Amino acid sequence: MDSSAPPPLVGGENSADPEPPHQRQLTARLKFWAIVIGIPLLLLVGTVLLLLGFQIWQTRKLRREVETLKAEAVRLDQPVEIFNPAWGTALDAADPQRFPSRDARDPRYGALIQQFRPLGNAAQSWRLRRLSTGARPEAPLPEEAYLKHGSSFLRARDYDHAIQSFQHFVDLYPNSPASHNALGIAFRDGGRFADALESHNRAVELAPQRADLLWERAVTRLRSGDIAEVIKDCKSALEKSPDFADAHNTLAMAYRNQRDYANALTHHDRALEINPRREDFWRERALTHEANGDQSKSAADVQRAREVRSQPP
């Protein structure tokens, strides 16, 4: 073999030329720095964009809140309401001595501004707000509020407002025996007996087990002169509640109207046995004794009625 021959070429012209070592080293370094710098840079850009978006959202939210606060702000000489968030009521600017509200549909009572010991009770918390639009709360108040409101008109003998108040009560609570019974009483006191009996009948229909509803209907029938039905209602009430003193007294009045004084006095006696501190019971028995011709017993009952009236409650 000739030792002077040149060394063979590696790979030849048709073989792939390998990447030089310095090129490989440069490529590796570029990849390393791309990872070391590029990924944190992407994270930084993403974080900046996220924070920028959050800042824009927060700025818009704060702007809306500021506009809301401006709209709800209470300013000098501006009309305001003092309202109680626990009850959903506001203080009336009318005479605070007047009870209740002048509006028959509004069962709120007036209130005196007075000192009290703070108890940490939500019902004692009052706030200021701009004058409301007059919209009523969606949920009605409890039944007792409407009963008290309408009854205050009855005590004042303002029967038109009482009827209007209880009609509103019936509209809000159409399936409540109390609402129909209250409306019946208002109609009765206003002299509208046919309307009163219609309301009483609905109340009894909704709660036939309640003796007090039967008795209220009996009182209405007594005033309208339907004595036979009075006796039926009182007897039904006493079947459900034998110690119902008012039913005994009303039944006695019905028997007196029929001149059945023996039965009348039996039920007068029972009413007074149950509740001897009722002045009206004594006076009604006095009337029955007088109608029966017993003036001495009538005078004794009148005197007893005066004594009961003079005694402290």
- Tell me the pLDDT band of 20, cut-offs 50, 70 and 90: confident
The answer to the question of residue 312 being in a domain is yes
Q: Structural domain of residue 236, as residue ranges?
A: 227-313
Q: Please give the angle made by the CA atoms of 253, 240 and 228, to the nearest 5 degrees.
A: 35
| 280: its two tokens | 């009206």
- For the chain, the domain total comes to 1
Rounded Cα distance between 76 and 31, Å, is 70
Residue 128: its H or E element: strand 127-130
Q: What are the tens digits of pLDDT across the range 96-153?
A: 455 556 677 777 655 555 555 666 666 667 677 777 776 655 678 899 989 988 998 9
Return the ∠ at Cα 138 (arms to 121 and 142), rounded to 5°: 55
H/E element, 83: strand 80-84
Q: What is the mean pLDDT of the chain?
A: 85
Whether residue 284 lies inside any domain: the answer is yes
In the sheet that 127-130 helps form, which strands lie side by side, from edge to edge?
A: 89-90, 80-84, 127-130
Question: 80, 130 in Cβ contact below 8 A?
Answer: yes
* Per-residue pLDDT tens over the stretch 38-68: 888 888 888 889 999 999 999 999 999 988 8
Percent of the chain at pLDDT > 70 equals 79
* pLDDT at residue 204 greater than cutoff 90: yes
| pLDDT tens readout for residues 216-249 | 999 999 999 999 999 999 999 999 999 999 999 9
Q: Is residue 286 part of a domain?
A: yes
Cα dihedral angle (45, 47, 50, 51), rounded to 10 degrees? -110
Phi, psi of 80 (to 5 degrees): -135, 165
34 secondary structure, DSSP code: I
24 within some domain: no
In a domain, 276, yes or no: yes
Residue 92 pLDDT > 80: no
Give the residue from 223, 221, 241 showing the smallest Cα distance to 232.
Answer: 221
pLDDT at position 117 is 67
Q: How far apart are CA 256 and CA 141, in angstroms?
A: 43
With tokens 């000739």, the residue in question is 2
Give the model confidence (pLDDT) of 137-173 as tens digits. 567 889 998 998 899 899 989 999 999 999 999 999 9
pLDDT given for residue 135 in this prediction: 61
Do the domain assignments include residue 183?
no
Residue 313 lies in a domain: yes
Residue with tokens 């000098």: 76
Residue of higher predicted confidence among 80 and 116: 80
Identify whether 234 is part of a domain. Answer: yes
User: Which CATH number characterizes residue 298's domain?
Assistant: 1.25.40.10
Residue 90's SS3 state is: strand
